[in-house]
Structure 1
Amino acid sequence: MFIQTEPTPNPDALKFLPGRVVAEGAGMAFDDAASAAASPLAHALFGLHGVAGVFFGPDHVAVTRSPSGPDWTQLKPHVLTTIMDHFMSGAPLLREGATGADHASSDADDEIVAEIKALLDSRVRPAVAQDGGDILFEAFDAETGVLTLRMRGACAGCPSSTATLKAGVEQMMRHYVPEVTAVEAAA
């Protein structure tokens, strides 16, 4: 098995491409060891000294290192081995009963929110996934027009994520959904 790596705009995150499907459907983010218990692979990665975040995309695993931990020259071989061991073992990505979906539209969504989510899914999320991350709908305030989005994976904490939200996502949302007046990152 050969795993390619790609840098991301976030210097503390690397994208690992195992050459197979990783997560079908929505991406899955694990921000701490407690949440990683739902996934054998995420749990094993958090067992490595210096891993601060794990994100599963459709065809990749994005790993974020702690800035105070080992640098990538020390951490990368251990991450590669852990990912390879997981996929070679045939173990499932998630433990039985665990789910990774948390962004789907619901019947309770009004027309504007449904339009925002559709635009995110068709235009924004694929582009953000190329950088090893994901972006999810958090909230829309119809009175103020403020759309709140959550950045995950390599995009969470990335120095350029604010520029991505303001220069890219906000302009596009305001163009296609005039009710949106501003886009902000979730705290």
Structure 2
Amino acid sequence: MSETKITIQETTNNTIIKYNSTSVLINGGSYEFNNIDEAKNSPLAQQLFYLPFVKKVFVTANFIAIQRFDIVEWKEVQEEVREQIAAYINNGNAVVNEQTTSKKQAIEVYAEVTPNPAVMKFGTNKALTQTDVEFKNIDEASASSPIAQAIFNFPFVKQVFISDNYISITKYDMVEWDEVYGEVRTFIREYLAAGKIIIKELPKEEAVTSAENKAVKPTIALEGTAAQIVDILDEYIKPAVAGDGGNIAFRSYDEQNKVVSVILQGACSGCPSSTATLKNGIENLLKEMLPNQINEVVAING
């Protein structure tokens, strides 16, 4: 396995900093530790609490966020902490000792129709991932997500999209959802209840989408209008489309032509109403909130 890279990302709260990881740190969900006693199942968090300025540690599948006390500024210590986290992970140590008991968890899974007749949303009370992932076929899923790989074993499954607490599945036209959704729901519930791995490795971007259709996750912070667009998408648009089992990811902003490019995922991809959503919903909202900055919103995969 390649070496894990840890990068530093500032947040809107100047007491909190994020350390992003190129490898998966835990199997879904998240953990929050307020002191060293709460961190008994996380050797890394315990180690971090020995640093006198560490106030709180938050662990997810692909990043560790740390809140500091006011006795230091992050610029004075952030690189030292990054090196400590990277060394710990690359020595093969567990970030969190997750429970591996045979006792099944109480998992609920419910099926919901979406505006896209080819897509069914399967919501759950278990946190699945901190990073949205989409798989177009079983080969893409095999390297990254055992649950997606298993779902592709249903012959009617065309695509799988996994978000924070739901899975959206796109089917081929060979069956109707009312014929098969119960079987899929039962499978997902039993898989999650058994505590099996959801995502074992974050997919390489080029493996998930073609070079022309990549959603951008910039290594540097966006600025200006592009940053404002992302904020609006995150606050106003994504929660609404997530309710329908979909996702819209920012790709780019052409400042000269004032054109926003996005990626449609999950139930939004291939949805008959997606064009109306883009034009009547997203485009109008962005024009209203960013006057004279937006001429058009286009989906580069729809």
TM-score of the superposed pair, with normalisation by structure 1? 0.90
- What residue is the counterpart of 1:70 in the other structure? 175
Question: What SS does the corresponding residue of 2:180 show, helix, strand or coil?
Answer: helix
- Superposed CA RMSD: 1.9
- Cα deviation for residue 104 of structure 1 reads 4.4
| Alpha-carbon distance in 1 for matches of 2:203, 2:269 | 21
- Cα deviation for residue 173 of structure 1 reads 0.7
In the alignment, structure 1 residue 181 sits paired with structure 2 residue 285: no
- Cα deviation for residue 36 of structure 1 reads 1.3
- Contact residue 6 and residue 14 of structure 1 kept, 8 A: yes
In the alignment, structure 1 residue 15 sits paired with structure 2 residue 127: no
Q: Relative to structure 2, which stretch is displaced further, 38-47 or 77-86?
A: 77-86
- Contact residue 32 and residue 46 of structure 1 kept, 8 A: yes
Following superposition of structure 1 onto structure 2, how do residues 1-187 of structure 1 map, counting pairs within 5 Å?
1-24=107-130, 26-37=131-142, 38-67=144-173, 69-95=174-200, 97-98=201-202, 104=217, 106-107=219-220, 109-178=222-291, 179-187=293-301
Matched residue pairs, number?
A: 184
Answer with 1 or 2: which has the greater Rg. Answer: 2
TM-score of the superposed pair, with normalisation by structure 2? 0.57
Q: Relative to structure 2, which stretch is displaced further, 170-179 or 130-139?
A: 170-179
1:79-99 CA-partner distances (Å, limit 9, x unpaired):
12321232022122111x425
Q: Relative to structure 2, which stretch is displaced further, 101-110 or 57-66?
A: 101-110
- Contact residue 111 and residue 181 of structure 2 kept, 8 A: no
- Contact residue 105 and residue 117 of structure 1 kept, 8 A: no
Q: Give the share of equivalent positions with the same residue, in percent.
A: 31
Gaps of 5+ in 1: none
Question: What SS does the corresponding residue of 1:85 show, helix, strand or coil?
Answer: helix
**Structure of higher RCO (CA pairs closer than 8 Å, 6+ residues apart):** 1
- Contact residue 129 and residue 199 of structure 2 kept, 8 A: no
Question: What SS does the corresponding residue of 2:154 show, helix, strand or coil?
Answer: coil
Structure 1 stretches of at least 4 aligned residues deviating more than 4 Å after TM superposition: 99-106
Gaps of 5+ in 2: 1-106, 206-214
